[in-house]
């Protein structure tokens, strides 16, 4: 698909913007007489990280500059994986961020405002309508929270200036953009693994677009892979799984888990940097059997290194995912020469249960349409986390006869959302 510039588009471009608001990355596009134009929101890129940085006393930064500010050590607050908090009470809790009390709803709205303004400057249009992607389920097996999440996102889009909001399921958008990848004699199965959710759409290729047979999704994505790898590979070096001496009497107590889980969770890291949490960790240091490890945790909180750890885990995951991959999760910012070994074998072991969940979800998708694995001719892999080897292995385990089609992993959804504009596909919200 081409990248849009004002000179490449005609006055037939609709005044509806397509937005793929992702857990890890976001993208926008417009459609011109059936042609999709992605709008390069920064540095000529089709996507930008769904991340924000609030400098102390400065203006909010989004995308790559947000990460650059964090890496440069600027004073301020970095936040990522905002989408994963939709539908939860945390989304509407006011916290002191960037010198001002804000909710994550406020921050998501500000992010979407900036995206909308950039798209309007680039095209010369005013966008009052939006077609936005959404997962099949924001939250697995929780219809009430799922509905709240959709309402939260719709409210943020309206607060950003969109009057008319339509949602399209992300894997169905990917099917629309990639139906040509499927053999018309058999069915195609979109396997869309994003940062926060895994979504599946079973479709048949048709002359007027894909015929959707079933869609299904679970709350499991790349940030969950990162969290689990952090808990199994890094957090033990900070005291996770250790023991505490009792204040009174003999015997030992297990180390509390909650701090480590939060430190391994992208969306919760910023909320650990409080005086209360630091006091709690100082208490743990006092009674820890292995004091040195918990002192490292104390260092992480004092120096606010949580996101540095998360990025290091992400890099380690990518390195270990390669055939015969191996590497180290560099933790030198905590302590000189400190690192955690990660190999393809340790990665596969840590994420084995998640592969089983993906296999189960694929089977559930087929069951919804009452089809057999042998009827699936193509597994269409989309989403950044679909590049993980365990995802292809899960697909092959359920549909061993299907071929794997690797498409535009990061932009399949936004292309389909733009095509959905002209086809008037989507559910108003």
Question: With bands split at pLDDT 50, 70 and 90, how would you rate the model's confidence at 43?
Answer: confident
pLDDT at 383: 93
- For residues 229-235, average pLDDT: 98
380, 178 contact by CB (below 8 A): yes
Question: Taking the C-alpha atoms of 104, 106, 110 and 116 in order, what is their torsion angle to the nearest 10 degrees?
Answer: 100
pLDDT digit string (tens) for 246-295?
Answer: 988 889 999 999 999 999 999 999 999 999 999 999 999 999 999 999 99
Question: With bands split at pLDDT 50, 70 and 90, how would you rate the model's confidence at 79?
Answer: very high
What stretch of H or E contains 276? helix 275-287
Question: With bands split at pLDDT 50, 70 and 90, how would you rate the model's confidence at 12?
Answer: low
Of 423, 418, 429, the closest CA to residue 2 belongs to 418
Residues 6+ apart with CB under 8 A from 53: 60, 61, 62, 65, 66, 67, 69, 70, 74, 76, 77, 78, 79
pLDDT at 116: 97
Distances, alpha carbon 249 to alpha carbons 241, 253, 284, 291, in Å: 21, 11, 17, 19
CB atoms within 10 A of CB 282: 13
> What is the spatial distance between Cα 280 and Cα 283, in angstroms, rounded to a whole number?
5
Residue in the structure block whose two tokens are 């959709």: 150
The DSSP call for residue 195 is S
Of 196, 186, 130, 138, the closest CA to residue 163 belongs to 130
**For residue 349, with 0-12 CB atoms within 10 Å meaning exposed, 13-18 middle and 19 or more buried, which class applies?**
exposed
Q: What is the CATH superfamily name and number for domain 16-170+412-428?
A: ATPase, nucleotide binding domain (3.30.420.40)
Instruction: Spell out a b/e string for 22-61, using b for 16 or more CB atoms within 10 Å of the CB, else e.
Output: bbbbbbbbbbbeebbbbbbbeeebbbbbbbbbbbeeeebb
pLDDT at 58: 82
pLDDT at 13: 60
Instruction: Output the six-digit token pair for 420.
Output: 């959905």
Q: Are strands 61-62 and 252-254 parallel, antiparallel or unpaired?
A: unpaired
Instruction: Output the six-digit token pair for 427.
Output: 């559910």
- For residues 388-405, average pLDDT: 96
Top mean pLDDT of 2-6, 29-33, 183-187 is at: 29-33
Mean predicted lDDT score pLDDT of the chain: 93
- For residues 157-164, average pLDDT: 97
pLDDT at 381 over 70: yes
pLDDT digit string (tens) for 106-153?
Answer: 999 999 999 999 999 999 999 999 999 999 999 988 899 999 999 999
Q: Are strands 198-204 and 187-193 parallel, antiparallel or unpaired?
A: antiparallel
Distances, alpha carbon 71 to alpha carbons 76, 274, 306, 327, in Å: 11, 21, 12, 21
176, 190 contact by CB (below 8 A): no
What stretch of H or E contains 132? strand 129-134
So where are the chain's domains? Answer: 16-170+412-428
Question: With bands split at pLDDT 50, 70 and 90, how would you rate the model's confidence at 1?
Answer: very low
Of 96, 124, 89, 92, the closest CA to residue 108 belongs to 92
Of 381, 396, 384, 393, the closest CA to residue 177 belongs to 381
pLDDT at 99: 82
pLDDT at 2 over 50: no
Question: With bands split at pLDDT 50, 70 and 90, how would you rate the model's confidence at 6?
Answer: very low
pLDDT at 4 over 70: no
Question: With bands split at pLDDT 50, 70 and 90, how would you rate the model's confidence at 8?
Answer: low
pLDDT at 326: 80
């Amino acid at each position: 698909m081409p990248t849009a510039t004002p000179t490449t588009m005609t006055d037939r471009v609709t005044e509806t913007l397509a937005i793929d608001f992702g857990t890890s990355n976001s993208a926008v596009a417009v459609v011109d007489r059936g042609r999709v134009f992605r709008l390069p929101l920064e540095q000529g890129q089709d996507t930008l990280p769904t991340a924000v940085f609030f400098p102390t006393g400065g203006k909010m930064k989004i995308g790559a500059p947000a990460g650059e500010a964090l890496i440069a050590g600027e004073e301020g607050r970095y936040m990522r994986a905002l989408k994963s908090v939709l539908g939860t009470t945390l989304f509407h809790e006011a916290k002191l961020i960037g010198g001002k009390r804000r909710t994550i709803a406020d921050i998501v709205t500000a992010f979407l405002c900036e995206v909308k303004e950039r798209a309007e400057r680039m095209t010369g249009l005013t966008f009052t309508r939006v077609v936005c992607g959404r997962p099949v389920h924001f939250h697995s097996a929780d219809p009430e929270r799922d509905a709240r999440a959709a309402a939260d996102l719709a409210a943020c889009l309206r607060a950003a200036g969109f009057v008319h909001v339509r949602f399209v399921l992300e894997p169905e958008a990917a099917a629309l953009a990639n139906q040509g990848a499927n053999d018309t004699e058999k069915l195609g199965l979109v396997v869309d693994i994003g940062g926060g959710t895994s979504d599946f759409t079973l479709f048949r290729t048709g002359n007027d677009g894909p015929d959707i047979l079933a869609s299904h999704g679970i709350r499991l994505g790349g940030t969950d892979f990162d969290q689990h790898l952090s808990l199994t590979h890094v957090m033990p070096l900070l005291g996770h799984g250790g023991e505490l001496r009792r204040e009174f009497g003999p015997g030992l107590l297990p180390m509390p888990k909650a701090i480590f889980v939060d430190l391994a969770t992208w969306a919760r890291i910023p909320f650990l940097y409080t005086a209360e949490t630091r006091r709690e960790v100082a208490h743990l240091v006092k009674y820890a059997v292995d004091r040195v490890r918990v002192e490292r945790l104390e260092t992480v909180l004092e120096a606010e290194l949580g996101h540095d750890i998360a990025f290091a885990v992400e890099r380690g995951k990518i390195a270990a995912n390669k055939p015969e991959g191996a590497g180290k999760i560099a933790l030198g910012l905590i302590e000189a020469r400190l690192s955690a070994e990660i190999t393809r074998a340790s990665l596969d072991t840590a994420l084995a249960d998640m592969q089983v969940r993906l296999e189960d979800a694929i089977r559930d998708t087929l069951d919804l349409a009452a089809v057999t694995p042998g009827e699936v001719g193509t597994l269409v892999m989309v989403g950044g986390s679909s590049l993980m080897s365990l995802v292809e292995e899960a697909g092959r385990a359920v549909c061993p006869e299907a071929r794997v089609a690797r498409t535009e992993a990061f932009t399949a959804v936004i292309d389909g959302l733009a095509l959905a504009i002209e086809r008037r596909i989507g559910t108003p919200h």
